[in-house]
Amino acid sequence: MSVELRYRLVDVFSDVPLAGNALCVVLDPCPDPVMAAIAREVNLSETTFPTVLDEGRYQMRIFTPRRELPFAGHPSLGTAWVLGPRRWEQTTEGGTVVVEAEGARARMSQPDPVLTDTDPDGLLEALSLSDARAVHVAEAVGLRHVVVATDASIDRICPQPAAVAAASRRSGAGTVAAVRRLDDRTLHLRVFAPVLGVDEDPGTGSVAGPVALVARSVWGTSEDVTILQGAEVGRPCRIEVHAEPGELRVGGRVTACAEGRFTL
């Protein structure tokens, strides 16, 4: 096989390069058997393979270094931004969402998650947390997340990847998220996804909407919040969320970082 595939690297949830959550967007049609191999080669949280269907619509596949995902947040924002400024309708295995790209920003709609209480057994120990105000499983667009709301500081927690992975599997979830309220408009978030091949994710758009809704329920935070994530892994992110049921929106800044070609 001889093929050249153009790609762009962008940093999502950041206004400067080499911060935020990095994303590789492969712009040319890619043979199916090569997609997972490229994602492993790039070794970022996610790599996307969009196909523009017509004006304003595209479908997309998303890969971590370990597996394919039905949906993901920062890949949706970053891919739409790379494809160009407009209102896009994006379809992935998990469903269809609207993503708007304009200037240095992108914003997407999210369906309301289904939130269910879950047993915290083993979770607090896995996360090195002393307490939790609430523990929910959030499910939407084909993804499941465990969301742990805590009043304890999460700056210096040292999760055990094997224990976090075990807790994820017990809940059928891909990620485990710990969130703390800083004030009524600001949340601190850390997200761990060892079952997806990502020990700690710098900026997780798919989790941000459910987390903001949980925060409103637990602490009475504002409809509009900023989520701070990723500083602990050297990739600070600022995620903007409008947490109104039925009108859930997640967005942030996107910055170009690099471009090139795969020669295979």
CA separation for the pair 248, 197 (Å, rounded): 28
Q: How far apart are CA 106 and CA 12, in angstroms?
A: 9
pLDDT of 1 > 80? The answer is no
Catalytic pick from 41, 46, 125, 232? 46
Which position has the token pair 């600022």? Answer: 238
Q: Could you tell me the residue ranges of all domains in the chain?
A: 4-109+252-263, 114-247
Instruction: Give, in order, the Cα–Cα distances in Å from 30 to each of 2, 69, 92, 185, 197.
Output: 12, 17, 16, 42, 22
pTM of the model: 0.96
Residues 55/47, Cβ–Cβ less than 8 Å? no
Whether 235 and 252 have beta carbons less than 8 Å apart is answered as no
pLDDT at position 207 is: 98
Name the pLDDT band for 2 (thresholds 50, 70, 90): confident
Coil/strand/helix, residue 106: strand
CB contact set of 231 (below 8 Å; sequence gap of 6+):
none
CB 146 within 8 A of CB 116: no
pLDDT at 148: 97
Task: Check residue 121 and report its DSSP letter.
Answer: T
Active site residue 46: yes
4-109+252-263: CATH topology is: Diaminopimelate Epimerase; Chain A, domain 1 (3.10.310)
- Bridge partners of residue 263, in order along the sequence: 4
- pLDDT tens-digit series, residues 193-226: 999 999 999 999 999 999 999 999 999 999 999 9
Planar angle of CA 179, 192, 24, nearest 5 degrees = 115
> Residue 120: its pLDDT value, please?
84
Residue 240's pLDDT band (cuts 50, 70, 90) = very high
For the segment 73-121, what is each residue's pLDDT rounded down to a tens digit? 999 999 999 999 999 999 999 999 999 999 999 999 999 999 999 988 8
Task: Decide which of 3.20.20.370, 3.10.310.10, 3.30.930.10, 3.30.420.10 is the CATH code for 114-247.
Answer: 3.10.310.10
Residue 238 predicted with pLDDT over 80 = yes
Q: What pLDDT is recorded for position 121?
A: 80
Model confidence at 28: pLDDT above 70 = yes
How far is 123 from 145, CA to CA, in rounded Å?
13
Each residue of 134-190: pLDDT tens digit? 999 999 999 999 999 999 999 999 999 999 999 999 999 999 999 999 999 999 999
Cβ pair 94, 142 in contact under 8 A: yes
The answer to whether 252 touches 237, Cβ cutoff 8 Å, is yes
